[in-house]
A and B are shown apart, each in its own frame.
Chain A
Amino acid sequence: MNWIVEMAASFLRPDEGEAVLGDLAESGEGPWKALCAVAGLVTRQQLEPWRSWRPWVASSVALPASLLLLGVSFGLSVDSVNLLHDGPVRGTVVCEALLMLAWAWMGGFMVGSLSRRTRWISAVLCAVPCLSCVLRFHDSSLSRFCVLLFLVPGVVGSVQGMRHVRLNFTMAVVLATAVSGLMLAWSGMYAWYWPLLLPAWFLVATANRSRGLVA
Chain B
Amino acid sequence: MLGEFEYILVTVAAGLGENAYGAVIREEIEKNMCRKCSIGALYTTIERLETKGLLKTRMGEATAQRGGRAKRMVRVTAKGEQAAREFYEAMMRVSRNASWAVKEPEGTS
Contacts and interface: CB of A to CB of B under 8 A. Distances in A.
A48 B39 contact: no
B39 A22 contact: no
Interface in B21-78: 21-23, 26-27, 38-41, 43-44, 47-48, 59, 62-63, 65-67, 69-72
B72 A16 contact: yes
A87 interface: no
B47 A19 contact: no
Interface of B is mostly: helix
Contacts of A24: 39
Given A40-B40, A45-B47, A19 B65 contact: no
B38 A37 contact: yes
Contacts of B67: 21-22, 25
Contacts of A44: 40-41, 43-44
Contacts of B63: 26
Interface residues of A, number: 20
B40 A22 contact: no
A43 B40 CA distance: 8
Nearest to A42: B40
Contacts of B43: 16, 19-20, 41, 44-45
A44 B39 CA distance: 10
Contacts of A43: 40
A36 to B, nearest CB: 9
Contact of A27 (B26, B41, B44): B26
B47 A25 contact: no
Given A16-B43, A41-B38, A45-B44, 19 more contacts: A15-B59, A16-B72, A18-B59, A19-B43, A20-B39, A22-B66, A23-B22, A23-B26, A23-B39, A25-B66, A25-B67, A25-B69, A26-B63, A26-B66, A27-B23, A27-B26, A40-B39, A41-B43, A43-B40
Interface of A: 15-16, 18-27, 37-38, 40-41, 43-45, 48
